[in-house]
Amino acid sequence: MTRAQVLNQLVDLIVAIQLPHPTRVAIDGIDASGKTMLADELVEPISRRGRTVIRASIDGFHRPRAERYRRGKDSPEGYYYDSFDYNALRANLLGPLGLNGSRWHRRATFDYRTDSSIDSTGEQAAPDAILLFDGVFLLRPELRDLWDFSIFLHVDFKIAIARAVARDLADGRTSDEISARYRNRYVPGQQLYFGSAYPQSNANSIIENNDLENPRLEIKR
């Protein structure tokens, strides 16, 4: 199946969901699995179907740096348990867009680059809007019931690390530094997630995304 075919099938599935509130779509997967790329690719074809797209990411719901790294910068436990503010995500975005929600929402509450809160009043969502939300750890138990459709991107860790090295070299780090960070913190943090939340079992669909040009889509429910 070509990438274009996978995208078309996903768009068909997502726009067919009929709810009395905006449709909240989770795009989950390990680091450097292609989550942001996929979410961005879905925006235009969904918009062409006449639906308003709300684009957001877990990156907008980080905890402060001191909390994220309180167990150490290389701690996988710190990565899994301390990285993100799920209460803020629920209160500001997923809850308002859900059943009986006000639809008045904020796409982000924290800027991890400046390590500071984002001061914004929010915006009103259309009743039939579609939220495309990408990020890691999205199918953990405290979030699982807040999604109306979920996509999990499966990528081998070895391939994901190679992609991360190619992407992150522009930040001024060496390939060895990037690889070490992934092997010490991100990969074992994801393994904690797999062992406790079973994301592939709980996702509505899985994309095998090792080959970006020829992904394989499995619709589960």
Residue 152 has pLDDT above 90, yes or no: yes
Q: Name the more confident of 171 and 142.
A: 142
Q: Are 179 and 167 in contact (CB under 8 A)?
A: no
Q: What is the pLDDT of residues 119-129, one digit of tens each?
A: 988 999 999 99
Opening angle at CA 118, ends 14 and 29, nearest 5: 40
Please give the average per-residue pLDDT across 211-221, as a whole number.
94
- Looking at the DSSP bridge assignments, the partners of residue 25 are 132, 149
Please give the average per-residue pLDDT across 163-192, as a whole number.
94
Provide the pLDDT for residue 1.
85
Question: In terms of C-beta distances under 8 Å and separation of at least 24 residues, what long-range contacts does 73-77 make, across chains too?
Answer: 73/185, 74/181, 74/184, 74/185, 75/185, 76/184, 76/185, 76/186, 76/187, 76/188, 76/189, 76/191, 76/192, 77/189, 77/192
Q: Evaluate the CA torsion angle 61, 106, 98, 4 in order and state its sign.
A: negative
Residue 116 has pLDDT above 80, yes or no: yes
Of the pLDDT bands very low, low, confident and very high (cuts 50, 70, 90), residue 170 is confident
Query: What's the CATH architecture for 3-219?
Result: 3-Layer(aba) Sandwich (3.40)
d(CA 98, CA 77): 30
Rg (CA), the chain: 17
Q: Are 80 and 192 in contact (CB under 8 A)?
A: yes
Provide the pLDDT for residue 120.
87
Q: What is the pLDDT of residues 79-104, one digit of tens each?
A: 999 999 999 999 999 999 999 999 99
d(CA 38, CA 27): 8
Provide the pLDDT for residue 173.
86
Q: What percent of the chain has pLDDT over 70?
A: 100
Q: What is the pLDDT of residues 6-16, one digit of tens each?
A: 999 999 999 99
Domain boundaries, the chain: 3-219
Q: What is the pLDDT of residues 60-81, one digit of tens each?
A: 999 999 999 999 999 999 999 9
The identity of residue 107, as a single letter, is R
Residue 45 has pLDDT above 80, yes or no: yes
Please give the average per-residue pLDDT across 189-198, as a whole number.
98
Name the pTM for this structure. 0.97
